Chains A and B, each alone.
Chain A
Amino acid sequence: MYRIVKKVDLAPTIKRFEIEAPLIARKGKPGQFVMIRIDEKGERIPLTLVDASPEKGTITIAALEAGKTTKKLNSMKEGDYLADVAGPLGRPAEIAKYGRVACVGGGVGIACIYPEVRAFKQAGNYVVSILGARTKEMLILKNEIAEFSDEIYVATDDGSEGFHGFVHLLLKKLIDEGKRFDLVVAVGPVPMMKAVAETTKPYKIKTIVSLNPIMIDGTGMCGCCRVEVGGETKFACVDGPEFDAHLVDFDLLMARNRRFIEEERLALEEYNKVCGCKR
């Protein structure tokens, strides 16, 4: 059992949790993730490691309410226990000195990119963070990210803060204004990562994305997380989750992520009935 030590509301549907998991805390690196299961009847879902503190023996994760499991997770309180947390899984991000690095985060992906922003900065890069959210309310961790960024930009879909429009358009604007990048790293919803990949491709800027296919074990045992990269099948949980954005088949990923859409809707409806928290 894994205790929730701290819970913070980052946005109306995004919560951050600090969880006691000493073994994982010792090992977790930026770019890696954990598999969690809330209780006996729960499913296993992957969540990115937002932080890991070997001293405190805790890890930090952040979840956006997407369906039953993340909704249930976000309703949990400090002092509650998760049945299972396993990790750290996946390959760590390749942190090195590249020069000028753009870190692009969309939605809850901002939380996922936070450890990389910090790591790239600490590795001596000039870090430009570009954050995208639906509205100002959903924009998270701006101050934390600013602390490790040389420049920071914000885009919102409704224009309530910063650039009015999608985050990849902001990235394109910055490039066209003459900002040079040696590496772009993007984490967020699949359509956003796809758009970022298409944006940087003509400029030949090396771009890394963190893929989020459906997973079960997260250890390479089931093949549920198959993605195609450069025409080859990869298991995102062991070969990734980070891949060269210009080689990823995003359409396949989107189709595969819709596999259980009806079941997910049913699970959420049933859950809403029990928890009485209709939304």
Chain B
Amino acid sequence: MAKISEKKVQMPEQPPEERIKNFKEVPLGYTPEMAMEEAKRCLQCKPRKGKEFPPCVEGCPVNVPIPQFILAIREGRFDDAIRIIKEKNSLPAITGRVCPYENQCEGSCTLGKRQGYEPVGIGRLERFAADYERAKGFTIPPKPQPNGKKVAIIGSGPAGLTAAADLAKKGYDVTVFEALHEAGGVLVYGIPEFRLPKDIVRAEVEYVKSLGVKIQTNVIVGKTITVDELLREFDAVFVSTGAGLPNFMKIPGENLNGIYSANEFLTRLNLMRAYEFPKYDTPIKVGKRVAVIGGGNVAMDCARWARRLGKEVYIVYRRTEAEMPARKEEIERAKEEGVNFMLLTAPVRYIGDEKGWVKQMECIKFELGEPDESGRRKPVPVKGSEFLMDVDTVVVAIGQSPNPLVPQTTPKLKTTKWGTIEVDDELRTSVERVWAGGDIIRGDSTVILAMGDGRKAALSIDKYLSGTDRTWKFGVKG
């Protein structure tokens, strides 16, 4: 066997100086030759003793059969590759782009453990197989015999879309209810075009529709219709409403003009396409110096958007880079694009001008103290370290909370003290015939875990609706 190269086959990408002048995707994807070359680096590992799967598969939250699909790519059997991936992952074009694979499949890859070696580029290969399939046109499976049962799905993010597709393939009559005017959840309103082109999300949504799933946009469950009403018309309800409630710091001056929540900033740009104003009607106003508060993926997305609008951008984060929850790759990209990092720093108040626009922000410095419950070292403010910083736009990206609307209007639905819906290990809730999954049960989480929940809920719903045992076992194991 030829010597394995230490590095992944490089994926062509737009250079930083060019990409900050457009809104297009940064990495451009593998050609078939590059993919087959990269696939050769895989060692085709077997499960380690006592384990069910090879290490990479153990690292993937939904256990995609990685060695098998990589082998198929290596042998040029791309159709097989995508079929194998889709046994476990219904949204590979999306996860292949946004999964935190460095901590998951690639983080566990045997090759990557060797001194000086990069892991196999599993994410890139997954993306390649999915893009190959989309370019060719999805094959729509033959329509199953309708089984006469109806399922309602609330929310069209990755959890909802996955559950919808899986149930439709089993013959259920599925309707997805979405509050916004476009389906896709965070994939359309949150994650930017340059990281996840909206055409890809639209193609996935079209595929789900081609399976016979009905998507009703502009329906706000809890307002337009309630869960109790849905239960009268549908045999089962799956709640996948996500974590869309923006958090603020509740510090003085936070309602000044020029201060956005990350959700407002991203929704204007992504969903409403404010970057094409006035061709599109929704405006956005961004000054010259932008501070983005926070250190997660959402903060990086906002900072990188602001760079593309030609602004001077600062990430302001109260811990250090090591504690940042954002993906390494996104932090690197942000740096390449010229985003400045102000670490161990947080705002304490905002100062406005006479017209009510933010002009300065008072910050305080932090140092790292003892580890907290999460194991991360806790930032403690340094007395007397306050300083003023000139800013004219601030984006608050300090996390989102679960959407409260469905629990508020469904009194019997049990929630935790964080506002997430309580479920058992089959994603059943405290209300009979209602399941829940994705960010609404996890808080901020990931696309792949939401996808996995959609799949798991679909299985449980099918078991319940097709089975003879119709007793509701919320809270009972198994």
Residues of A within 8 A of B (CB): 23-24, 27, 37, 41-44, 68-69, 83-89, 216-217, 219-224, 226, 228, 233, 238, 252, 255-256, 258-260, 262-264, 266-267, 270
Nearest chain-B residue to A221 (Cβ)? B244
| Listed residue (A222, A238, A267) with the most chain B CB atoms within 10 angstroms of its CB | A222
Min CB–CB distance A253 → chain B (angstroms): 10
Complex contacts, B258 vs chain A, CB 8 Å: 259
Complex contacts, A221 vs chain B, CB 8 Å: 244-246, 263, 267, 403
Complex contacts, B301 vs chain A, CB 8 Å: none
Q: A224 touching B223 by the CB < 8 A rule?
A: no
The answer to whether B459 has its CB under 8 Å from any CB of chain A is no
Q: B356 touching A87 by the CB < 8 A rule?
A: no
Interface of A is mostly: mixed
**A84-B217, A221-B246, A228-B255 in contact; A259/B285 too (CB < 8 A)?**
yes
Nearest chain-B residue to A223 (Cβ)? B261
Complex contacts, B264 vs chain A, CB 8 Å: 216, 222-224
Min CB–CB distance A94 → chain B (angstroms): 17
**Which one, B73-81, B137-145, B274-282, B329-337, is touching chain A?**
B274-282
The answer to whether B355 has its CB under 8 Å from any CB of chain A is yes
Complex contacts, A266 vs chain B, CB 8 Å: 278
Q: B181 touching A44 by the CB < 8 A rule?
A: yes
Complex contacts, A37 vs chain B, CB 8 Å: 181
Q: A43 touching B255 by the CB < 8 A rule?
A: no
**A83-B181, A221-B245, A228-B255 in contact; A256/B281 too (CB < 8 A)?**
no
Instruction: State the total of A-B contacts with C-beta under 8 angstroms.
Output: 114
Complex contacts, B234 vs chain A, CB 8 Å: none
Q: How far is the CA of A255 from the CA of B257 in the complex (A)?
A: 8
Q: A89 touching B283 by the CB < 8 A rule?
A: no
| Listed residue (B217, B219, B255, B279) with the most chain A CB atoms within 10 angstroms of its CB | B255
The answer to whether B268 has its CB under 8 Å from any CB of chain A is yes
Within 8 A of A (CB), among B255-275: 255, 257-258, 260-261, 263-264, 267-268, 272-273
The answer to whether B254 has its CB under 8 Å from any CB of chain A is yes
Nearest chain-A residue to B180 (Cβ)? A217
Complex contacts, B267 vs chain A, CB 8 Å: 216-217, 221-222
Min CB–CB distance A56 → chain B (angstroms): 17
Q: A216 touching B245 by the CB < 8 A rule?
A: no
A216 is contacted by which of B218, B279, B282 (Cβ under 8 Å)?
B282
Q: A233 touching B278 by the CB < 8 A rule?
A: no
Q: B224 touching A217 by the CB < 8 A rule?
A: no
Within 8 A of A (CB), among B197-236: 217-220, 223-225
Q: A43 touching B261 by the CB < 8 A rule?
A: no
Q: How far is the CA of A86 from the CA of B221 in the complex (A)?
A: 11
**A43-B282, A87-B224, A267-B283 in contact; A222/B356 too (CB < 8 A)?**
no
Nearest chain-B residue to A256 (Cβ)? B257
Q: How far is the CA of A220 from the CA of B244 in the complex (A)?
A: 8
A233 is contacted by which of B218, B255, B273 (Cβ under 8 Å)?
B255
Q: How far is the CA of A78 from the CA of B399 in the complex (A)?
A: 44
Q: B220 touching A86 by the CB < 8 A rule?
A: yes
Interface of B is mostly: loop
Q: B224 touching A220 by the CB < 8 A rule?
A: no
The answer to whether B405 has its CB under 8 Å from any CB of chain A is yes
Q: How far is the CA of A69 from the CA of B140 in the complex (A)?
A: 40
Residues of B within 8 A of A (CB): 179-181, 217-220, 223-225, 244-246, 248, 250, 254-255, 257-258, 260-261, 263-264, 267-268, 272-273, 277-283, 285, 355-356, 403-405
Complex contacts, B279 vs chain A, CB 8 Å: 41
Q: B254 touching A23 by the CB < 8 A rule?
A: no
Min CB–CB distance B102 → chain A (angstroms): 30
Q: B268 touching A216 by the CB < 8 A rule?
A: yes
Complex contacts, B255 vs chain A, CB 8 Å: 226, 228, 233, 252, 256
Q: List 5 A-B residue pairs with CB atoms under 8 Å apart, sorted by A's residue number.
A: A86-B220, A88-B223, A216-B272, A228-B255, A266-B278
Min CB–CB distance A216 → chain B (angstroms): 6
Q: B223 touching A267 by the CB < 8 A rule?
A: no
Min CB–CB distance A149 → chain B (angstroms): 30
Min CB–CB distance A262 → chain B (angstroms): 8
Min CB–CB distance B286 → chain A (angstroms): 11
Q: How far is the CA of A259 from the CA of B219 in the complex (A)?
A: 29
B355 is contacted by which of A88, A226, A255 (Cβ under 8 Å)?
A255
Nearest chain-B residue to A2 (Cβ)? B218
Q: A223 touching B263 by the CB < 8 A rule?
A: yes
Complex contacts, A86 vs chain B, CB 8 Å: 179-181, 218-220, 224
Top 9 nearest A-B pairs by Cβ distance?
A: A255-B356, A263-B283, A86-B218, A43-B281, A222-B264, A223-B261, A43-B282, A84-B181, A221-B244
Nearest chain-A residue to B266 (Cβ)? A222
Q: B246 touching A222 by the CB < 8 A rule?
A: yes
Q: How far is the CA of A179 from the CA of B244 in the complex (A)?
A: 47
Complex contacts, A259 vs chain B, CB 8 Å: 257-258, 285
Q: A24 touching B224 by the CB < 8 A rule?
A: yes
Q: How far is the CA of A194 from the CA of B233 in the complex (A)?
A: 46
Q: A267 touching B180 by the CB < 8 A rule?
A: no
Q: B261 touching A222 by the CB < 8 A rule?
A: yes
Q: How far is the CA of A88 from the CA of B220 in the complex (A)?
A: 8
Min CB–CB distance B185 → chain A (angstroms): 11
| Listed residue (B250, B254, B356, B403) with the most chain A CB atoms within 10 angstroms of its CB | B356
Q: How far is the CA of A216 from the CA of B355 in the complex (A)?
A: 23
Q: How far is the CA of A24 from the CA of B258 in the complex (A)?
A: 34
Complex contacts, B246 vs chain A, CB 8 Å: 221-223
Q: A41 touching B220 by the CB < 8 A rule?
A: no
Q: A89 touching B220 by the CB < 8 A rule?
A: yes
| Listed residue (A24, A44, A84, A86) with the most chain B CB atoms within 10 angstroms of its CB | A86
Min CB–CB distance A261 → chain B (angstroms): 10
Q: How far is the CA of A212 from the CA of B217 in the complex (A)?
A: 24
Q: B281 touching A267 by the CB < 8 A rule?
A: yes
**A84-B181, A87-B224, A252-B255 in contact; A220/B245 too (CB < 8 A)?**
yes
**A222-B264, A256-B257, A264-B283 in contact; A89/B223 too (CB < 8 A)?**
yes
Q: A219 touching B220 by the CB < 8 A rule?
A: yes
Q: How far is the CA of A83 from the CA of B278 in the complex (A)?
A: 19
**A216-B267, A220-B245, A263-B277 in contact; A87/B282 too (CB < 8 A)?**
no
